[in-house]
Amino acid sequence: MAHDPLLSHEDFAAVLPPGRRLLGLDLGTKTIGLALSDLGRGIASPLETIRRKKFGLDAALLLQVCAKHEICGLVIGLPLNMDGSEGPRVQATRSFTRNLAPLTDLPMTAWDERLSTAAVTRTLIEADRSRARRAELVDKMAAAFILQGYLDRLAHLARSAQQRDLSP
């Protein structure tokens, strides 16, 4: 079996240079939602949605976005089943990351994206967005939801390390 390029959250955090952005990805069958972190890696913002064509074109466009925004790592939504098991969508995501890895040196990690689209859709409905507008926004907002989850985890890891360093 091919090597899995997805790093653990801790290993991913350890290789990230300071002061650079992360990119969150919500990989769908028809689109890829993208979200961008701020330089301090505290806030995720929706960026754009890529309409998928074929892997080579999708990867080239994704890597252009990474270069433009000086991305230092990718946080990819992992669409686990509700019971935590891995189904066909997880296999497709892992295949995407294995195919992308030879094209870039960017480190990658996965974030459990269960319910991200449902949470974002509920928020957009509450904001009284039309169905067409929701469809336009949901993928990049789901990517922001995914990335924000990891950014919160990253902040927790940093606090835990700091507490360890301060304890006698």
The closest of 79, 74, 29, 80 to 55, measured between CA atoms, is 29
Q: Is the per-residue pLDDT at 158 higher than 90? A: no
Residues 6+ apart with CB under 8 A from 136: 49
pLDDT, one tens digit per residue, over 48-82 is 999 999 999 999 999 999 999 999 999 999 988 77
% of the chain with per-residue pLDDT over 70: 83
Q: How far apart are CA 58 and CA 78, in angstroms?
A: 18
